[in-house]
Amino acid sequence: MATAWPGASLAAEPAPPLGWGDWKVEWDQPWPAAHEAWQPDRAEDAPPGASAQEEWVFVYDLWQLGISSLSGLGPISPIQGRRAVLQHADEIRLWAPDDLELLVAASIAHQASDFKDRPFGTDAIEEFWRELIDDNISVGIAQLRRAEVATWAPYLDGADLLSPSLAIRVMVAKLKQANSYILYRDPKITDTDRYMLLALAQNTASTGAMRSTIDFFVDGAQGDWLVMMTSERARMLDWQEQLRLVLLHLDWLVERGWPVPDGLDRYYWSRVAFANPQ
């Protein structure tokens, strides 16, 4: 899903917008010891004056700064995905299994941050578009279509697509099914690879697309993320962007006390998502 991109203007200190009064943005910090966590395999590939490690960390920090700056203004934030998760944290914890709780929350934060369809967290554009133009668009904080409810959680078919409760329960059902299929295809898969595949699966709209993504990792890429991320399919489906955005929200949630699943190596995920795979 499309989301806001951190522009060059973020490098300057923002001026208070007229009419809103005084406010202050508290920039999020990246997770600790990022610079020490990753040692590049091929330092000679780094550009002059910077190591590959520094380039990767810079890209991570830039993306996190952009997302955090657009999320950190409370009710007037241009993107509201993180706020939506905090508002519905109890329901996420109610429905999500313990080992998928963080992935569900990060996926909701990502999908609900779609500025194109949900600026400032409002349903107004989606409601207008659905009523007058196309009733088969993705809506709500999980960006769902009606067919997805029938696919992932048929017992909820017919419920209001804009309901946050519905969105959370369908996202949980989608990730539970994807998780089961991952373990079926590769029972010995590492937890980190499994969670990264779930970060891709959360953006699929059908069982076929979900299984195709997982099958490609297991059969086509042979479990190699470099092969996975340099494939034509990765380019067409924006796999690197999906890995980046889900991870950025996941790290932000961890900073706020959400537990990290056992076996999840966020440093490895970060390197795959933010280093240049070419």
The residue extents of the domains of the chain are 80-274
Tokens encoding 247: 């991870």
Among 55-64, 111-120, 183-192, name the one with the lowest average pLDDT.
Answer: 111-120
Gap between the Cα atoms of 247 and 176, Å rounded:
19
Summarize pLDDT for 138-169 with one digit per residue, the tens: 667 878 888 889 999 999 988 888 889 999 99
Summarize pLDDT for 10-33 with one digit per residue, the tens: 333 333 332 333 323 333 434 333
Summarize pLDDT for 215-254 with one digit per residue, the tens: 999 999 999 999 999 999 999 999 999 999 999 999 999 9
Looking at the predicted structure, is the pLDDT value of residue 272 above 80? yes
Model pLDDT, residue 199 = 98
Specify the higher pLDDT residue, 107 or 144.
Answer: 107
CA-based end-to-end distance of the chain: 23
Gap between the Cα atoms of 197 and 175, Å rounded:
10
What single DSSP character describes residue 118? S
Summarize pLDDT for 27-49 with one digit per residue, the tens: 343 433 333 333 334 434 443 34
Average pLDDT over residues 53-65: 84
Phi, psi of 139 (to 5 degrees): -140, 170
Gap between the Cα atoms of 165 and 147, Å rounded:
17
Tokens encoding 227: 């092969």
Model pLDDT, residue 141 = 80
Element (H, E) at 93: helix 89-95
Specify the higher pLDDT residue, 50 or 73.
Answer: 73
